């Protein structure tokens, strides 16, 4: 029993169909529980007041925005090395989700920044690098859509993902150059003292779990859609060739 | 190798090659900026290094779709791909020819246009040095973008969407060198970073360009 069995589209589809209800259910449960807990059953923060509660959307979305790209990178590498179609389709399926997560992180950040920093937008390193990440997502999605041949598209977007990763990292550290900016440092860590107080931390963890489960469910679902779309195209092509 | 370089240079210089277009575009952008932000010399002096970098970057971008598209149309790219010369080297040469015909003229024109923008004299040499170090990276990155989009019918806009984010680190460090140079600050760190990015891009990106071009040619 090896992991690569799931590279078979049929095996992937049957397994993901069995798993999907669980992921949807658990994601919904975690999100509802975490958001209600966070919004209504935690105290207001001393200096920030009620605005701190947007953290339950902002931080999970920002984490997923980065991790979705890393997942695309891994899937692209698997496609380039082992030529599993499911892998390429999973990367394609994850890209719009990652772009939306980046957008959520940017918008909630702006809404949070307005009362706290007195500005919607600031050319702060973290904000700028997220905006650049969003542009990378746009380019990646546009390249997928521009190419008709699916294998060519998978190859080109995979290479773009690899090259883009290097340049996205470079940009991330390049913008650090201007100044340290308004954004605080990492708000979560497992081993350091300096993270948010436990009363905010626990519901935040539930929300993060909910976002991750939601992401997995969406990727599985969208990959299934892509596989079926590919099958439809193959059937149609066969029909045209026969007729 | 030299024959390929000379061929690309000849094609660029002779009629219809569009050699002067990038330069003219650079001139127009730098002329339009004072017209749009107003002619206050102090403001212009402040933003002139950034304007020069942005203009060079856009002029570079504009010439990219000609880089491989013409060779793609008349089939010479297929010949290059089957030639004994490795495709990586061929693309490196083409990027070099692109730099000689687009990047280098921009570097040479920058001090003249700097006068128009009231660039402080201390900044002129740093603008030239940063452009000289940075524009090769722009050409190599652009070759990668051109190789990605060469088979597409409407590749032009997509090419800008793909290439501009890749230009970001070069632009940040290049403009930072020019800005710090213009106000007399220490430029060592961004200068080293800029040179490092260029060296890495020149060394590694031709492999990626050749890989995607092979996909497009098959």
**For B84-124, what is each residue's pLDDT tens digit?**
888 888 889 889 988 988 888 889 888 888 888 888 887 88
pLDDT in tens, A107-148: 998 888 888 777 777 777 778 888 989 999 999 999 998 888
| β-sheet bridge partners, residue A49 | A45
Considering the entire predicted model, what is its pTM?
A: 0.87
Whether chain A has a CB inside 8 Å of the CB on B208: the answer is: yes
Q: Under an 8 A CB cutoff, do A152 and B151 touch?
A: yes
Give the residue from A77, A139, A176 with the most B CB atoms within 10 Å of its CB, the best one to mutate.
Answer: A139
ipTM of the complex: 0.84
Nearest-CA distance A171 → chain B (Å):
5
Q: How confident is the model at residue B152 (pLDDT cuts 50, 70, 90)?
A: confident
Q: Under an 8 A CB cutoff, do A162 and B176 touch?
A: no
Give the residue from B61, B141, B149, B161 with the most A CB atoms within 10 Å of its CB, the best one to mutate.
Answer: B161
Q: Under an 8 A CB cutoff, do A135 and B165 touch?
A: yes
Q: What is the pLDDT of residue A182?
A: 58
The predicted model gives A193-220 an average pLDDT of 82
Contacts of B193 in chain A (CB under 8 A): 174
pLDDT in tens, B139-148: 999 999 999 8
Residues 112-171 of A with CB under 8 A from B: 132, 135-136, 138-139, 142-143, 146-147, 152, 155-156, 159-160, 162-164, 167-168, 170-171
Q: Under an 8 A CB cutoff, do B215 and A152 touch?
A: yes
The structural domains of chain A, with segments of one domain joined by +, span 17-181+195-242
Q: Under an 8 A CB cutoff, do B197 and A170 touch?
A: yes
3-state secondary structure chain B: CHHHHHHHHHHHHCCCCCHHHHHHHHHHHHHHHHHHHCCCHHHHHHHHHHHHHHHHHHHHHHCCHHHHHHHHHCCHHHHHHHCCCCHHHHHHHHHHHHHHHHHHHHHHHHHHHHHHCCCCHHHHHHHHHHHHHHHHHHHHHHHHHHHHHCCCCCHHHHHHHHHHHHHHHHHHHHHHHHHHHHCCCCCHHHHHHHHHHHHHHHHHHHHHHHHHHHHHHC
Q: Under an 8 A CB cutoff, do B208 and A159 touch?
A: yes
Domain region containing B199? 2-217
Give the residue from A133, A140, A171 with the most B CB atoms within 10 Å of its CB, the best one to mutate.
Answer: A171
Q: What is the pLDDT of residue A56?
A: 86
Which of A162, A167, A175 is opposite residue B165, by nearest beta carbon?
A167
| Average pLDDT taken over every residue of chain B | 86
Nearest-CA distance B148 → chain A (Å):
7
Q: What is the pLDDT of residue A135?
A: 92
Is the four-CA dihedral B31, B36, B42, B46 of positive or negative sign? negative
Contacts of A162 in chain B (CB under 8 A): 208
Question: Closest residue of B to A131, CA-based?
Answer: B165
Number of structural domains (chain B) is 1
Which of B158, B172, B197 is opposite residue A146, by nearest beta carbon?
B158
Nearest-CA distance B13 → chain A (Å):
32
CB A76 within 8 A of CB A161: yes
Nearest-CA distance B15 → chain A (Å):
32
CB A237 within 8 A of CB A150: no
pLDDT in tens, A20-72: 999 999 999 999 998 888 888 877 766 677 777 888 888 899 889 999 999 99
pLDDT in tens, A20-29: 999 999 999 9
Nearest-CA distance A27 → chain B (Å):
33
Comparing C-alpha atoms, which of B132, B197, B187, B162 is closest to residue B65?
B162
Question: Closest residue of B to A144, CA-based?
Answer: B158
| Average pLDDT taken over every residue of chain A | 84
**Which of A197-211, A219-233, B13-27, B104-118 has the least mean pLDDT?**
B13-27
């Amino acid at each position: 029993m090896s992991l690569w069995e799931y590279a078979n589209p049929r095996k992937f589809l049957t397994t993901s169909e069995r798993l999907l209800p669980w992921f949807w259910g658990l994601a919904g449960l975690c999100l509802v529980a975490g958001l209600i807990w966070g919004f209504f059953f935690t105290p207001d923060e001393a200096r920030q007041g009620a605005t701190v509660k947007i953290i339950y959307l902002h931080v999970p979305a920002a984490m997923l925005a980065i991790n979705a790209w890393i997942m695309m990178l891994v899937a692209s590498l698997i496609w380039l090395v082992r030529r599993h179609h499911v892998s390429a389709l999973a990367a394609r399926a994850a890209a719009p989700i990652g772009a939306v997560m980046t957008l959520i992180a940017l918008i909630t950040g702006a809404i949070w920044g307005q009362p706290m920093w007195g500005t919607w937008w600031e050319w702060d390193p973290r904000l700028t690098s997220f905006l650049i990440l969003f542009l990378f997502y746009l380019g990646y999605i546009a390249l997928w859509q521009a190419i008709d041949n699916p294998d060519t598209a998978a190859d080109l977007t995979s290479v773009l993902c690899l090259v883009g990763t290097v340049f996205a990292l470079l940009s991330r550290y390049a913008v650090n150059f201007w100044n340290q900016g308004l954004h605080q440092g990492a708000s979560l860590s497992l081993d350091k003292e300096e993270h948010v107080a436990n009363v905010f931390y626990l519901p935040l963890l539930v929300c993060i779990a909910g976002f991750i489960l939601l992401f997995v469910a969406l990727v599985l679902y969208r990959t299934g859609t892509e596989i079926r779309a590919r099958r439809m195209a193959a059937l149609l092509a066969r029909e045209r060739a026969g007729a | 190798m030299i024959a390929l370089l000379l061929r690309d240079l000849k094609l660029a210089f002779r009629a219809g090659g569009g050699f002067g277009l990038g330069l003219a575009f650079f001139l127009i952008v730098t002329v339009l900026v004072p017209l749009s932000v107003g002619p206050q010399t102090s403001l212009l002096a402040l933003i002139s290094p950034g304007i020069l970098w942005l203009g060079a970057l856009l002029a570079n971008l504009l010439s990219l779709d000609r880089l491989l598209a013409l060779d793609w149309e008349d089939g010479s790219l297929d010949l290059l791909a089957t030639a004994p010369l490795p495709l990586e080297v061929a693309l490196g040469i083409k990027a070099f020819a692109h730099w000689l015909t687009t990047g280098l003229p921009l570097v040479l024109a920058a001090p003249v246009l700097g006068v128009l923008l009231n660039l402080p004299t201390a900044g002129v040499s740093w603008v030239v040095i940063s452009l000289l170090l940075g524009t090769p990276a722009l050409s190599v990155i652009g070759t990668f973008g051109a190789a990605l989009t060469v088979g597409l019918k409407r590749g032009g806009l997509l090419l800008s969407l793909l290439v501009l984010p890749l230009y970001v680190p070069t632009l940040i460090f290049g403009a930072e060198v020019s800005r710090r140079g213009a106000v007399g600050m220490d430029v060592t760190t961004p200068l080293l970073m800029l040179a490092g990015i260029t060296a890495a891009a020149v060394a590694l990106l031709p492999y990626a360009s050749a890989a995607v071009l092979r996909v497009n040619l098959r």
